[in-house]
């Protein structure tokens, strides 16, 4: 049994800000901290343990012990967890499903969900279409720079839970900080980028043909609530935010000490998103602050927690 503090990998995309440094304890030398990849074995951003070993290498030492008995020796962590600070609008984009990504990108597909942690007044994001399009009308809207007219532009607030299946056109808007839980993938097709230029003065690449291949061109249903109702417990509030074929995500609002009993047959990743907490198992005690993340081995059967805050627990479905 083991609980491992994690050190993230950082990304300095042009739309990012500095809230992750100032408010989420993300120390790095970048001028912009757009994302911190908290729990990742993806080669594009490897999370490390406190020893300096990558999480990927640690898991490979004993897949079944660390990830769970349902995993085979050639598998790795199926999820990627990150903080995102959008100081500016992200591009309009879409992600492929597994079949398309395996065939074209040698990567996983990307179904994801967002927990809105912060949203400035009047902050909005784009989510899916407000009308049906054909592939030809979709392509024409991209080429004519009228695509935004066909997208849902939705106001968001802290606490919103947004599930984004592969194929959903979307963009996080300016002034929003999210915790993102996704398949372990970095396959993104940029559809529209507001004619922005990169640091070298070049327009960023678009991926229109692939986006046309994978986008769901039917109207999207807007429901930014948790999948299940909250449950009051002796320690505070517990909510299953989303359970899908790729991950299960739960929220724990802690007001009193408690013990969480785990299945003992799958990994868990834990991210503190509010306040300060103390975790303990039979080997160690860890103090966590807002922004800290840990990986919990599959064989861990329980741990205790105390403090005043909120953590998110991610596990295999």
The residue to which tokens 């984004």 are assigned: 164
What 3-state class would DSSP assign to 233?
Answer: coil
Long-range contacts of 60-64 (CB under 8 A, 24+ apart): 64/298
Q: How many residues does the chain have?
A: 317
Residue 264's pLDDT is: 86
Cα 110 to Cα 246: distance, rounded to the nearest angstrom: 10
Mean pLDDT to the nearest integer, 62-77: 92
Q: Does domain 231-315 have CATH number 2.60.120.10?
A: yes
Mean pLDDT of the chain: 96
Residue 251's pLDDT is: 98
Token reading at 191: 């559809």
For residue 296, give every residue at least 6 positions away whose Cβ sits within 8 Å of its Cβ, in sequence order, or none. Answer: 2, 3, 4, 262, 267, 268, 269, 270, 303
Q: Which residues are catalytic?
A: 190
Residue 146's pLDDT is: 96
- In tens, the pLDDT along 2-33 reads 899 999 999 999 999 999 999 999 999 999 99
What is the tally of helices (H) and strands (E) in the chain?
Answer: 6, 21
Instruction: Give the model's confidence band at 256: pLDDT under 50 very low, under 70 low, under 90 confident, else very high.
Output: very high
Most distant CA atoms of the chain, gap in Å: 61
Mean pLDDT to the nearest integer, 41-46: 98
CA dihedral of 169, 206, 199, 170, whole degrees rounded to 10: 0
Cα 308 to Cα 158: distance, rounded to the nearest angstrom: 18
Instruction: Give the model's confidence band at 283: pLDDT under 50 very low, under 70 low, under 90 confident, else very high.
Output: confident
Nearest Cα neighbor of 317 from 260, 261, 266 is 266
CATH assignment of 3-214, given 2.60.120.200, 3.40.50.300, 2.60.120.10, 3.40.1000.10? 2.60.120.10
Above 70 in pLDDT, residue 116?
A: yes
Cα 287 to Cα 280: distance, rounded to the nearest angstrom: 9
Cα 177 to Cα 18: distance, rounded to the nearest angstrom: 11
Mean pLDDT to the nearest integer, 104-125: 98
The percent of residues above 90 in pLDDT, for the chain, comes to 93
Above 90 in pLDDT, residue 198?
A: no
Nearest Cα neighbor of 179 from 262, 119, 110 is 119
Strands (E), 193-301: 231-232, 236-243, 248-254, 258-261, 268-280, 285-289, 293-296
Token reading at 169: 């056109």
Token reading at 310: 């909120």
Residue 188's pLDDT is: 98
Cα separation values, 6 from 9, 40, 49, 164, 200, Å: 10, 10, 5, 26, 33
Sign of CA pseudo-dihedral 39, 40, 45, 50: positive
Instruction: Give the model's confidence band at 200: pLDDT under 50 very low, under 70 low, under 90 confident, else very high.
Output: confident
Domain(s) of CATH 2.60.120.10: residues in the chain: 3-214, 231-315
| Half-sphere exposure (Cβ direction) of 176: Cα atoms closer than 13 Å | 26
Instruction: Give the model's confidence band at 159: pLDDT under 50 very low, under 70 low, under 90 confident, else very high.
Output: very high
- In tens, the pLDDT along 71-90 reads 988 889 999 999 999 999 99
Q: Are 177 and 19 in contact (CB under 8 A)?
A: yes
| Half-sphere exposure (Cβ direction) of 293: Cα atoms closer than 13 Å | 29
Helix (H) or strand (E) holding 99: helix 98-104
Token reading at 45: 């951003």
The percent of residues above 70 in pLDDT, for the chain, comes to 100
Above 90 in pLDDT, residue 197?
A: no
Residue 254's pLDDT is: 98
Token reading at 168: 């959903």
Residue 1's pLDDT is: 57
């Amino acid at each position: 049994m083991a609980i491992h503090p994690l050190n993230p990998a950082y990304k300095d995309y042009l739309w990012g800000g500095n809230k992750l440094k100032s408010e989420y304890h993300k120390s790095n030398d970048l001028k912009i901290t757009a994302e911190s990849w908290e729990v990742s074995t993806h080669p594009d951003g490897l999370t490390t343990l406190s020893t300096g070993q990558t999480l990927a290498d640690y898991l490979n030492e004993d897949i079944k012990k660390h990830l769970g008995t349902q995993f085979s020796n050639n598998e790795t962590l199926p999820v990627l967890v990150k903080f995102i600070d959008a100081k500016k609008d992200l591009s309009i984009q879409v992600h492929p499903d597994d079949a398309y990504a395996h065939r074209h990108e040698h990567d996983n597909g990307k179904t994801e969900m967002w927990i809105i942690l912060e949203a400035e007044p009047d902050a909005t994001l784009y989510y899916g279409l407000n009308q049906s399009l054909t592939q030809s009308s979709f392509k024409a809207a991209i080429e004519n720079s009228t695509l935004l007219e066909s997208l849902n532009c939705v106001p968001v607030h802290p606490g919103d839970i947004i599930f984004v299946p592969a194929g959903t056109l979307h963009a996080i808007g300016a002034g929003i900080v999210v915790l993102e839980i996704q398949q372990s993938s970095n396959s993104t097709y940029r559809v529209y980028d507001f004619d922005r230029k990169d640091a070298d003065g070049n327009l960023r690449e678009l991926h229109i043909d692939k986006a046309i291949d994978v986008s769901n061109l039917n109207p999207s249903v807007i429901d930014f609530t948790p999948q299940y109702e909250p449950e009051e417990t002796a320690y505070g509030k517990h909510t299953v935010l989303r359970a899908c074929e790729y991950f299960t995500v739960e929220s724990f609002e802690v007001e009193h000490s408690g013990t969480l009993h785990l299945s003992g047959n799958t990994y868990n990743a834990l991210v503190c998103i509010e306040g300060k907490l103390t975790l303990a198992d039979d080997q160690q005690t860890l103090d966590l602050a807002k922004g800290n993340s840990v990986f919990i081995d599959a064989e861990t059967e329980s741990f205790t927690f105390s403090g005043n805050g909120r953590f998110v627990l991610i596990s295999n479905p």
